């Protein structure tokens, strides 16, 4: 079993919040494909990273999680690209972890 996590920004580069409909479409798409999704949308997580000039950048993110038996890397690469387009991002973090259902 694999846990897929998708980190989506809460705001665009100008600081404007993305419309809730964007997140709702992601929720619907993941539910349709994987039979369910968990979305952490009430309180955003804060991400931090160092940019090319060594400055620490911060971003508030919404986390979506889905579980699947098999990771289809081709599908995820295409979907990640679609999310990057929708949310106007250079990169959207999507990661998979092997998990054990208890």
pLDDT of residue 48: 65
Would 22 be classed as within a structural domain?
A: yes
| C-alpha–C-alpha distance, residues 76 and 91, integer Å | 13
Would 50 be classed as within a structural domain?
A: yes
Expressed as residue numbers, the domain containing 89 is 2-94
Would 35 be classed as within a structural domain?
A: yes
Whole-model pTM: value is: 0.84
- Domain total in the chain: 1
What CATH number is attached to the domain comprising 24? 3.30.70.120
Which single residue is written with the structure tokens 């999704």? 37
pLDDT tens-place string over residues 53-84 = 887 767 788 999 999 999 999 999 999 999 99
pLDDT of residue 8: 93
Would 99 be classed as within a structural domain?
A: no
Would 47 be classed as within a structural domain?
A: yes
Would 101 be classed as within a structural domain?
A: no
pLDDT tens-place string over residues 2-46 = 999 999 999 888 889 999 999 999 999 999 999 999 888 766 666
């Amino acid at each position: 079993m694999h846990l897929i996590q998708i980190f989506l920004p809460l705001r665009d580069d100008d600081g404007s919040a993305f419309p809730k409909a964007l997140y709702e479409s992601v929720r619907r798409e993941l539910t349709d494909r994987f039979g369910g999704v968990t979305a952490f949308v009430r309180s955003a997580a804060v991400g931090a990273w160092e940019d090319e000039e060594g400055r620490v950048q911060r971003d508030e993110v919404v986390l979506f999680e889905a579980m699947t038996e098999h990771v289809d890397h081709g599908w995820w690469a295409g979907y990640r690209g679609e999310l990057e387009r929708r949310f106007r991002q250079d990169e959207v973090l999507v990661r998979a972890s092997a998990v054990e259902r208890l």
